[in-house]
A and B are shown apart, each in its own frame.
Chain A
Amino acid sequence: MDWMIFQNLLVTGLLRGGLYALMAVGLALVFGVMNICHFAHGEYYVLGAYAAYFAFVTYGMNPVLAILVAALFSFLAGAITDRLFFYPLRKRSKGDWVMNAFLLTAGLSVVLQSVYRLVFGNRYRGITQYWHASINILGMTIAADRVMAFGIALAAIAAMWFFLQRTRIGRAIRAVSQDERGAMLVGIDLDRIQTLTFALGSMLAGLGGASLLSLSPAYPFGGNKPLIASWFVVTIAGLGNVQGAVIGGFIVGIFESVSYFFLGQGWQEVASLGLLILLLLFKPTGLFGTEIKSVWEK
Chain B
Amino acid sequence: MLEVNGLQASYDQLQVLWDVSLSVKEGEFVALIGSNGAGKTTTLRAISGVLKLKAGQVSFLGKPVTNLSPHLVCQRGISFITEELNLFEGMTVQENLLLGAYNCKDGKKIKALQTEVFDLFPILSERQSQLAGTLSGGERRMLAVARGLMSEPRLLMVDEPSLGLAPKVVLSVFNALKALHERGVTLLLVEQNVHNTLQIADKAYVLEQGSIILQGASADLLQNEYLRETYLGKR
CB neighbours (8 Å) of B80 from chain A are 185
CA distance A189 to B103 in the complex (A): 10
A258-291: CB near B (< 8 Å → 1, else 0) gives: 0000000000000000000000000000000000
CB distance from A298 to the nearest CB of B (A): 13
Q: Are B103 and A182 in contact (CB under 8 A)?
A: no
Q: Is residue B75 contacting chain A, with contact meaning CB distance below 8 A?
A: yes
Q: Are B102 and A184 in contact (CB under 8 A)?
A: no
Interface residue tally for chain A (C-beta within 8 Å): 17
- Choose among B50, B90, B102, B105 the residue that contacts A186 (Cβ–Cβ < 8 A): B102
Q: Are A182 and B87 in contact (CB under 8 A)?
A: yes
Residue of B50, B71, B105, B150 with most partner-chain A CB within 10 A: B71
- Choose among B84, B95, B151 the residue that contacts A187 (Cβ–Cβ < 8 A): B151
CB neighbours (8 Å) of B85 from chain A are 182
B163-204: CB near A (< 8 Å → 1, else 0) gives: 000000000000000000000000000000000000000000
Identity of the chain B residue whose Cβ is nearest the Cβ of A187 in the assembled complex: B74
CA distance A54 to B138 in the complex (A): 59
Identity of the chain B residue whose Cβ is nearest the Cβ of A172 in the assembled complex: B102
Q: Are A179 and B87 in contact (CB under 8 A)?
A: yes
B16-51: CB near A (< 8 Å → 1, else 0) gives: 000000000000000000000000000000001010
CA distance A190 to B91 in the complex (A): 18
Q: Is residue B70 contacting chain A, with contact meaning CB distance below 8 A?
A: yes
Which residues of B78-121 are within 8 A (CB) of A?
A: 79-80, 82, 84-91, 95, 98-100, 102-103, 105
Q: Are A182 and B86 in contact (CB under 8 A)?
A: yes
CA distance A224 to B19 in the complex (A): 56
Q: Is residue B147 contacting chain A, with contact meaning CB distance below 8 A?
A: yes
CA distance A181 to B100 in the complex (A): 13
Known A168-B102, A184-B70, A185-B70; judge A175-B151 contact (CB<8 A).
no
Known A186-B99, A187-B74; judge A174-B151 contact (CB<8 A).
no
B127-169: CB near A (< 8 Å → 1, else 0) gives: 0000000000000000000011011000000000000000000
Q: Are B102 and A188 in contact (CB under 8 A)?
A: yes
CB neighbours (8 Å) of A172 from chain B are 99, 102
Q: Are A186 and B147 in contact (CB under 8 A)?
A: yes
Known A181-B50, A186-B74, A188-B71; judge A175-B91 contact (CB<8 A).
yes
CB neighbours (8 Å) of B89 from chain A are 178-179
Identity of the chain A residue whose Cβ is nearest the Cβ of B78 in the assembled complex: A185
Q: Are A171 and B70 in contact (CB under 8 A)?
A: no
Q: Are B90 and A174 in contact (CB under 8 A)?
A: yes
CA distance A185 to B80 in the complex (A): 7
Interface of B is mostly: loop
Residue of A168, A184, A190 with most partner-chain B CB within 10 A: A184
Which residues of A69-111 are within 8 A (CB) of B?
A: none
Identity of the chain A residue whose Cβ is nearest the Cβ of B90 in the assembled complex: A178
CB neighbours (8 Å) of A188 from chain B are 71, 99, 102
Q: Are A171 and B71 in contact (CB under 8 A)?
A: no
Known A171-B95, A171-B99, A172-B102; judge A185-B74 contact (CB<8 A).
yes
Q: Are A182 and B88 in contact (CB under 8 A)?
A: yes
CB distance from B130 to the nearest CB of A (A): 16
CA distance A178 to B87 in the complex (A): 8
CA distance A155 to B86 in the complex (A): 34
Which residues of A161-213 are within 8 A (CB) of B?
A: 168, 171-172, 174-175, 178-179, 181-190
CB neighbours (8 Å) of B48 from chain A are 185
Q: Are B88 and A174 in contact (CB under 8 A)?
A: yes
Identity of the chain A residue whose Cβ is nearest the Cβ of B85 in the assembled complex: A182
CB distance from A294 to the nearest CB of B (A): 12
CB distance from A8 to the nearest CB of B (A): 39
What residues of chain A have their CB less than 8 Å away from a CB belonging to chain B? Answer: 168, 171-172, 174-175, 178-179, 181-190
What residues of chain B have their CB less than 8 Å away from a CB belonging to chain A? Answer: 48, 50, 69-71, 74-75, 79-80, 82, 84-91, 95, 98-100, 102-103, 105, 147-148, 150-151
Q: List 12 A-B contacts (CB under 8 A).
A: A171-B95, A172-B102, A174-B90, A174-B91, A178-B90, A179-B86, A179-B89, A185-B70, A185-B80, A186-B102, A187-B151, A189-B69
Chain A to chain B: the 3 pairs with minimum beta-carbon distance, closest first: A182-B86, A187-B74, A184-B70
Can you add 5 more A-B contacts, CB < 8 Å, to A181-B82, A188-B71? A171-B91, A171-B99, A182-B85, A187-B151, A190-B71
